[in-house]
Chain A
């Protein structure tokens, strides 16, 4: 059985597909299909492209017309609605508009006035879906699939590989992982969870046979102003970064679920650990003081790997 590794850049992240197949050419062809699936979703849901569904939705909102949804987009919005409900309104895909105030590359904080102008344009409950038509209460609202489409793409790429007969492999999109199947001899994949503050250091190693692992933290993008750290996870109600856990990793059956669980855990701020315990999924988190919590494999004993 041939091992094949295929790396590419998509969705703003380094991506790698690891596959085992009978022949090198089969592995290579399937890896290309996996990449194509990620690129399809990137193109369809990108907020940067004029030809994306996202752009079409915004145009439709501005014109005041309802937007007809395809099956996949309707399912993604239905999922966003469920996550919004289950997070008590914290997971809100209309909050991406705050990026207009928060420029994490600029090194400057936004003014409260800038944020206050944006807040009325946020709120999942201000739009509704009826008979597969999406209606906006205001023409200046936006939606952003960026908060969960990467995790969904990891599941999608794994599904493509499975359809092509691959039983052993792994898809990694910018640190979010979906296992296709264990190594051919049944061994699990050894997955390192990186340390949020020490570049290159591993916080824990997790053997993963099936399922998915997603990680998120304030290390991804942040602003440092006057020694104060402003992470990229923004509370949709206040418009300000959440102060809570520094990093979270969650294991679930699907990468989408794992990713949503980590995002909401960060959004919950000081209640993040309660949220993780409530979910009953295996998790690992580090708080602002560097204290490690969680139900995943004992981080101390496995840190050597």
Chain B
């Protein structure tokens, strides 16, 4: 046995690297006093169209449902050496009708009562975030404001990213806060509240690892808390608890298949809250390069949720306590599929995307006896343009 004092392998490289880093040019490159990145401008136009409600399931009102036109704008611009300011602005118009209640139909199955008047609303949303990057991570502060005819929300968030020295592990986390006020546009026969508010807070913590030159994975946990008026004031009878707590976890994987020039994305989310809802979301997408400039990205997403403890199939004045017949609290599953086509050039990008979403009681993981009649199917089409200058 020899106890040679030969320096261990990494110490040789570490010693040379340490000495090299005292040289001005190398220090500059290593510390990524990089590049004032460029200013990026992005625009997306999305059209969201819900299929009409099934006529057989509409008791009162028109079966026509929502149509949404959404304009998204994003401007990201470097500020100083290490900061990027991003402004997101959304402008959205909503028209159509929504269900305001569920009643038992002639055969005892629940049927929808659609809101008579067509809804026309505009949502404007502004979010500013400032991200400060360092060699080993970043810190982001965000502030946002959102308004509709009947709704107003302020929100803020702080998030961080921290890379390990070998850049294999990335920790990230954040907290967010939102304060919302609703002033329902009064509808004959409902008029349950004039104005009310709620606040919510959420947080997450995640760790990502580079497993190989072709594979990285991330695991994370998140939690959220809502407090205040959480009911739907447009529904004839909708009484929900004034608190809700949720937690969940996520797992994500990005794997590059070199021979196919394609990246496989796998995203899973588990969600659970104290209203009794548990859900699973699983999404796969395949990012296929076609030549140097095109990518085609087919995706499929599966979602399933259990019902809230206080979910009721039909509204009834005989019910007391918490109750809601909102389809979002009903048990169901959903499948969506779609594809994007992306043209990528050094200074601009064009994106076309379509997605079809279908929800159904039969798609739920657990057996659903009575499906909510308001479950939606929709089509989402987006065209986008990004420009770097």
- Do these two chains interact? yes
Query: Is A281 in contact with chain B by the CB < 8 A criterion?
Result: yes
Is B9 touching A257 in the complex (CB atoms < 8 A)? Answer: no
- Give Cα A274 to B177, complex, Å: 57
Within 8 A of A (CB), among B1-28: 7, 9-10, 12-13, 15-20, 22-26, 28
Asked if B9 and A85 make an inter-chain contact with CB atoms under 8 angstroms apart, the answer reads no
Residue A163 at the chain B interface, CB threshold 8 Å = yes
Q: Is the CB of A79 within 8 A of B344?
A: no
The interface stretch among A57-65, A68-76, A229-237 is: A68-76
Q: Contact: B346 with A1, CB < 8 Å?
A: yes
Q: Given A167-B35, A185-B292: A82 and B16 within 8 A (CB)?
A: yes
Tell me whether B290 is interfacial, beta carbon within 8 Å: no
Q: Is the CB of B9 within 8 A of A75?
A: no
A277 CA / B344 CA spacing, docked (Å): 40
A117 on interface, CB distance cutoff 8 Å: no
Q: State the CA gap A29–B344 with chains docked (Å).
A: 27
Contact indicator B25/A155 (Cβ below 8 Å): yes
Contacting residues of chain A (148-204) with chain B, CB-CB under 8 angstroms: 152, 155-156, 158-160, 162-163, 165-167, 184-185, 187
- A184 — which chain B residues lie within 8 A by C-beta? 346
Tell me the bound Cα distance from A185 to B261 in angstroms. 13
A109 to B26, CA, bound (A): 39
1/0 contact string of B25-51 vs chain A (CB within 8 Å): 110111001111100000000000000
Q: Contacts of B7 on A, CB cut-off 8 Å?
A: 86
Contact B29–A158 (Cβ < 8 Å): yes
Cβ of A93 < 8 Å from any Cβ of B?
no
Our pick among B13, B19, B29 for the contact of A159 (Cβ within 8 Å) is: B29
Bound form: Cα–Cα A260–B20 in Å: 11
User: Does A278 belong to the interface (CB within 8 Å)?
Assistant: yes
Kindly state the separation between the CA atoms of A185 and B295 in the bound complex, as whole angstroms: 12
Q: Which residue of B lies closest to A83 (CB)?
A: B16
A162→B33 CA distance, assembly (Å): 8
Which residues of A sit under 8 angstroms from B28, Cβ to Cβ?
A: 159, 162-163
Residues on the A chain within 8 Å of B18, using CB: 82
Tell whether A9 is near chain B: CB-to-CB under 8 Å. no
Contact of B36 among A158, A165, A187 (CB under 8 A): A165
Q: How many residues of A contact B (CB 8 A)?
A: 40
Q: Enumerate B73-98 residues with CB–CB distance to A below 8 Å.
A: none
Q: Does B194 contact A (CB under 8 A)?
A: no
Q: Flag if B19 contacts A278 (CB, 8 Å).
A: no
Tell me whether chain A's interface is mostly helix, strand or loop, or mixed: helix
The chain A residue sitting closest to B22, CB to CB, is A75
Within 8 A of A (CB), among B276-332: 292-293
| Contact residues in B for A86 (Cβ distance below 8 Å) | 7, 12, 15-16
Residues of A within 8 A of B37 (CB): 167
Inter-chain contact B20/A185, CB cutoff 8 Å? no
Q: Give the residue name and chain of the B residue nearest to A163 (CB).
A: B28
**Interchain CB contact under 8 A, B35 and A162:** yes
Contact of B23 with A79 in the complex, beta carbons under 8 Å = yes
CA distance A26 to B13 in the complex (A): 37
B347 CB within 8 Å of chain A: yes
Q: How far is the CA of A71 from the CA of B29 in the complex (A)?
A: 17
The answer, yes or no, to whether A238 is at the interface (CB within 8 Å) is: no
Q: Encode B168-192 as 1/0 by CB contact (under 8 A) with A.
A: 0000000000000000000000000
Q: Report the separation of the CA atoms of residues A72 and B17 in the bound assembly, to the nearest whole angstrom.
A: 16
Q: A278 to B12, Cβ gap below 8 A?
A: yes
- Given B13, B26, B33, B36, which contacts A281 in the complex, CB threshold below 8 Å? B13
Name 20 interchain pairs, CB-CB below 8 A, sorted by A. Answer: A71-B24, A75-B24, A79-B16, A79-B20, A85-B15, A86-B12, A152-B23, A158-B29, A162-B34, A163-B28, A167-B35, A187-B292, A254-B20, A257-B20, A260-B16, A277-B9, A278-B9, A278-B12, A280-B10, A281-B13
Closest 10 CB pairs of A and B: A1-B346, A82-B19, A184-B346, A156-B25, A159-B25, A79-B19, A75-B22, A278-B9, A75-B23, A159-B28
Besides A155-B29, A185-B344, A278-B9, 9 more A-B contacts (Cβ < 8 Å) are A79-B23, A155-B25, A166-B35, A254-B17, A254-B29, A277-B9, A278-B12, A280-B9, A281-B13
Interface residues, chain B, with chain A CB atoms under 8 Å away: 7, 9-10, 12-13, 15-20, 22-26, 28-30, 33-37, 292-293, 344, 346-347, 389
